[in-house]
Amino acid sequence: MRIDKFLSNHGIGSRKDVKALIKKKQVTVNDIVIKKSDMHIDENVDVVKVNDQVIKHQPFVYIMLHKPQGVVSATEDRDQTVIDLIQGYEHYDLHPVGRLDKNTEGLLILTNDGQFTHNVLSPKKHVDKTYIATIDGIVTDKTIEQFKVGVTLDDGYETMPAMLKILSTGETTSQIEIIIQEGKFHQIKRMFIAVGMKVTYLKRTHMGQLALDPSLALGEYRLLTDEELKLVTQNSTS
């Protein structure tokens, strides 16, 4: 790979910016100052530094986003997308791992690793997705049992069993936690409609055992660690 492509792909700047850094003798390969921006390197072996800072080869990135309401979980749309929120990673071909409805908040992972996405979303994997929600209606033990065996959606689809937990109830509303292993269109909202209730607020808090970082405000994001990546496919119900 050319050194200017390598550095621009890792967020150092445009190829023009990289060329300027090389001209200023601020780029080294294996501790040797380089003079040409078209020099080829082995990104898996050579040690590249900019101002003595090692630039590690990152073929894949994994980003945790605290998705706000009003943003579409897509790569392109006429409305604002989750990709539009991510700055500094334009050189990666990012996509969301699954989706959250436009008016749903919470944990969303973005990556350029298609195999990781497949592993998380494959029906055979049955990865838990945990949500908290406000329900217009009173959730009871009967509702918990209905969700435990699965409910029939408006199109006739029979959902997989879901784990429902009552967090609190008021006069006309309920706060609940729900764990599902599917991702049908508006699934949780449609599940509650099927039992005569309405979701008025929905937030995803976990994927597998990976929890949304509480320090991330709505719209904020950060890279996932290697250990956090492993948690995604480790179910909270296992």
pLDDT band at 237 (very low <50, low <70, confident <90, very high): low
pLDDT band at 15 (very low <50, low <70, confident <90, very high): confident
What domains sit in the chain, N to C, each tagged with a CATH number? 3-54 (3.10.290.10), 62-124+209-232 (3.30.70.580), 129-207 (3.30.70.1560)
Question: Which tens digit of pLDDT belongs to each residue from 154-173?
Answer: 999 999 999 999 999 999 99
Known catalytic residue: 77? no
pLDDT higher than threshold 60 for residue 238: no
Pick the catalytic residue from 101, 113, 154, 213. 101
Q: Which residues contact 98 (CB under 8 A, 6 or more apart)?
A: 73, 108, 109, 117, 120, 121, 129, 183
Percent of the chain topping pLDDT 70: 99
pLDDT higher than threshold 80 for residue 77: yes
